[in-house]
Structure 1
Amino acid sequence: MNRLIAKKAAAVLLLFRLVFPSAMAAELSVRELSLPTVALNQQHHLAQMQDGRLIVSWVETFGLRNDIRFATYAHGRWSPAQTVVSIDDKLAAAPVVLGLSDGTLATAWMAAVHDSENPFAADIYLARSSDGGRTWSAPLKPYLDPARIYDAQMSLAPLPDAGLALVWTDGRHVGQAPENHSDSRFQLMATVLDKHWRPGPEFLLDNDVCSCCSSYTDARGNELITVYRDHLEGDVRDIGAVRWNRGGNSRWQPVHDDHWILNGCPSNGPAIDLADKGGVAAWFTAADGNGRVKVSFMQDPAAGFQAPIDIDDQAIGHASVLLLDDGSAMISWRHNAGPEEELWLARVMPDGRIMDRTLVYRGGFPRWPSRHVDMARIGNDVFVAWMDPVQKKVRLAAVALE
């Protein structure tokens, strides 16, 4: 009888190792925090401020009204939550509140365009606060009139000298000149605001991208890298990266040739994190028919990304990633667990070892616009946020790094 139990236990252990290789490392300590909210909430964003505080933004819903709110967290305590703006309409991509290098705050949100024939049309508005969020400047649209913003995608990154980079998916050429492939697709556009809050010229980063997959932009000094799901000839939807700067100089490079062919948008964007000594990207692909999450390290931007590391071959995706001080990376992603899903964290070493795999949450996830997972690191804590559709709120967990 004991031998039979032992054989069954060994079989379960073998199956677990096949699904989650290197998963036998000790789990990390997870504690959940409550956001300082007063109503139903969704559409979260996390960021680290210049002074080391965590800043969390979200949307609180009061009937048809949506309030963009934020608060900061440090030393175990929340600041009072503050309202940026109230919108009597839907908000598309998750609003962002982040800190700039001079101590001011910047915010960005997407609001629907009512007089457009396109139900997915939106406008991006930016504002800045010099008093900690108590008052904000007048909303600014930082792009030219021909722009046609697709309502699901934008990414931002603070720059030195209080600059701010903005990247968006633009449909100004969709449906035009169908005989010209490059003039009938969604494009990836960018601009940079200077310390005086003046938008610079628009940059074309890529003239044909996957419309529904979010981009992710990070900066190392004045150099930026934007990762996104490209759209190549033959409906190949692999992850691309553009290195660029505020002068408009750019260079495209692939993250990896997954060769995922799909006649449709998977709505599952990548993530990137840069540091002084390299970077790391994470993404979802189903090129071989299985949902996979992959991670690729980058020691030198000029040399590009290294061979990818498979994290999970039963994944839903929506990966987020952080580069840690020892050169490893912390990744979060949604895993397919049958009728439910699971949110997992793992630490990945550059040599491919997968350590400290930890289950954070099991249950459902909402559809757009709150289906993503977000992460930020403050000191020895990694924070991960997700939307719980049953509790109808954003949930936030802190994971202590060993």
Structure 2
Amino acid sequence: MNNTNFTSLILLLITFISCSSPNQSKQQSMLLDVPFETDSTKTYAEPYLMTTATGQTYMSWIEEGENGAELRYAYFDQGKWKSPQSIASGNNWFINWADYPQIASKDGKSMLSFFLQKSGESTYAYDIQFMSSLDGKNWSAPKTLHDDGLQAEHGFVSMLSYDENYLVSWLDGRNSAGQMDQHNHQSGSMAAMTLRAAILSPEGKKLQEWEIDNRTCDCCQTSVALTNNGPVVVYRDRGITEVRDIAISRLINGEWTQPKTIFQDNWQIKGCPVNGPRAASKNNSLAVAWFSAAKGQPEVKVIFSTDGGENFEKPIKINMAPSIGRVDIVMIDESTAYVSWMEKGEIKAKKVHQNGTSEEAITIAKTTEERASGFPQMTIAKEGLLFAWTDTEGKGTRIKSKLLKTH
């Protein structure tokens, strides 16, 4: 290569770097560590983040020690985690990297939470036990969410505040009771999991329950969102030919609509990918993020709806390199969302717009792709965009969190 060509190449690289990196560098500089205190005798995992309609942000997680497991939560304020409190504890819980407890709240006082408890000797026989609180401090005794009374798999819960009550959705294995020991979830190996939903009062009374879908993917997370038209549930469906694409059902006039695929990836897979969708809403705009590996292409996609999930626009591909999914999404206005996902051992986040444009992805943290690293979480706090995840590097497991200053 002569000097003229070499000089031209250097100038081209300088131009590329100067055009592509300032925005990413600026965003990275606005990413701050948020300390989370731990006890060296315990392990910490399965964080879940949520922000109420009135602006309070919380994180729930599980601590494990010599005496069993404990579900706890803390309040996020002025860049710090404050006032950690216990919700429940036990030594017969089902603790799983993908099926994690959550917390929901109307206003920072009325709250709802749950954990998973073993119901029999079968590995995947466990129940959903939920608790309610009217002051955020005193919690009711646990109650079983479902009433089938069978030793079967029940989990992958999603929930939100709805009117004066709470909407809860979950995967229910009552039709496959007694077939869960191997947990293969292979074609023809067992009766299918079902998708159910219920309305709970702030006091924890079940007011109504439905079966939404009688054949769903077996162990992918569900997601709920609230639009102006009413609540929606988004989940991974399961067709007769083992196509497992993302579907939606909407609660209209007290009845759930016939489930409808939001986009036909036509991902045919004879087993559960353990990779559920996440949905977020702002007024009547809805955004859904999900993972698919149709045709051997591992992709993270986002799709928008402007009419509460009745119709969807074209999907937008998010990842640049092969991804393992584990997505989350929040909406910052009616046409803009932030989506997070895992890619090449990193937690990534990107701002994406309804018109298909997006900003450069930023790296939130390095992580592993082990199951124990779980599903990174994201929520909109008063101070910015808040992230939390399970860190498995070093001895034991810990929870880490960061704040992206967006304003």
- TM tier, smaller: 0.7 to 0.9
Residues 5, 237 of structure 1: CA spacing in aligned structure 2 closer, same or farther, 3 A cutoff?
A: farther
Distance 2:278 2:242 in 1: 21
Alignment partner, residue 329 of structure 1: 337
Find the counterpart in structure 1 of residue 258 from structure 2: 251
Is the counterpart of residue 26 in structure 1 residue 24 in structure 2? yes
3-state DSSP of counterpart to 2:126 = strand
Query: Which of 163, 172, 175 is the aligned partner of 2:174?
Result: 172
Tell me what 2:101 maps to.
95
Of 302, 305, 324, the residue aligned with 1:298 is 305
> Deviations along 1:59-117, whole A, 9 cap, x unmatched?
1111351111111011234322111111113434222122125831211111122x24x
Q: More displaced, 348-357 or 40-49?
A: 348-357
Residue identity opposite 1:235 in structure 2: E
Range with greater deviation from structure 2 (96-105 or 392-401): 96-105
CA pair 13-136 structure 1, distance change in 2 beyond 3 A: farther
Shift in Å at residue 376 of structure 1? 0.6
Q: What's the counterpart of residue 354 of structure 1?
A: 358
Q: Distance in 2 between matches of 1:196 and 1:245?
A: 25
Whether contact under 8 Å (1:228, 1:269) holds in the other structure is: yes
8 Å Cα contact 2:249-2:256 kept in structure 1: no
Structure 1 distance, partners of 2:106, 2:359, is 33
Structure 2 distance, partners of 1:82, 1:221, is 33
- Rate the CA distance shift 1:303–1:51 in 2: closer, same or farther, 3 A: closer
Q: What CA distance in whole angstroms lies between the structure 1 residues aligned with 2:160 and 2:7?
A: 54
Aligned to 1:19: none
**Cα distance in 2, alignment partners of residues 301 and 108 from structure 1:** 28
Pair 247,32 (structure 1): closer, same or farther in 2 beyond 3 Å: same
In 1, Cα distance between the equivalents of 2:361 and 2:293?
22
Judging changes above 3 Å, is the alpha-carbon distance between structure 1 residues 195 and 53 closer, same or farther for their aligned structure 2 residues? closer
* Aligned residue-pair number: 383
Q: Could you say if the C-alpha distance between residues 326 and 189 of structure 1 is closer, same or farther in structure 2, counting changes exceeding 3 Å?
A: closer
Q: 2:400 aligns with which of 355, 378, 395?
A: 395
Paired amino acid for 2:24: A
Pair 1:112-2:101 in alignment: no
Cα displacement (A) at 1:36:
3.6
1:363 has 2:371 as partner: no
Distance 1:5 1:373 in 2: 44
- Is the 1:47–1:98 contact (alpha carbons within 8 Å) kept by the matching residues of 2? yes
Distance 1:304 1:23, change over 3 A: farther
User: 2:200·2:208 contact (CA, 8 Å) conserved in 1?
Assistant: no
Q: How well do the aligned residues superpose, as a CA RMSD in angstroms?
A: 2.8
Deviates more, 1:104-113 or 1:237-246: 237-246
For structure 2, which runs of at least 5 residues remain unmatched after alignment? Answer: 179-187
2:44 matched to 1:46? no
TM-score (ref. length: structure 2): 0.86
CA distance in 1, matches of 2:172, 2:300: 27
Q: TM-score, normalised by structure 1?
A: 0.87
Preserved contact between residue 329 and residue 347 of structure 1 (Cα < 8 Å): yes
Asked whether the equivalents of residues 149 and 169 of structure 1 are also in contact (C-alpha less than 8 Å), the reply is: no
Q: 2:270 aligns with which of 239, 263, 280?
A: 263
Contact residue 346 and residue 356 of structure 1 kept, 8 A: yes
- Gap runs ≥5 in structure 1: 17-21
Q: Secondary structure at the match of 2:271?
A: coil
CA distance in structure 2 between the partners assigned to 1:2 and 1:122 by the alignment: 70
Letter of the 2:70 partner, please give it.
Answer: D
2: CA distance, partners of 1:258 / 1:173: 27
State whether residues 112 and 131 of structure 2, in contact with CA within 8 Å, keep that contact through their aligned partners in structure 1. yes
Instruction: Please give the secondary structure, in 2, of the residue aligned with 1:173.
Output: helix
Letter in 2 for 1:172: R
Q: Distance between the aligned counterparts of 1:270 and 1:9, measured in 2? A: 43
- In structure 1, C-alpha distance between the alignment counterparts of 2:280 and 2:209, rounded to whole Å: 24
Alignment match, 2:286: 279
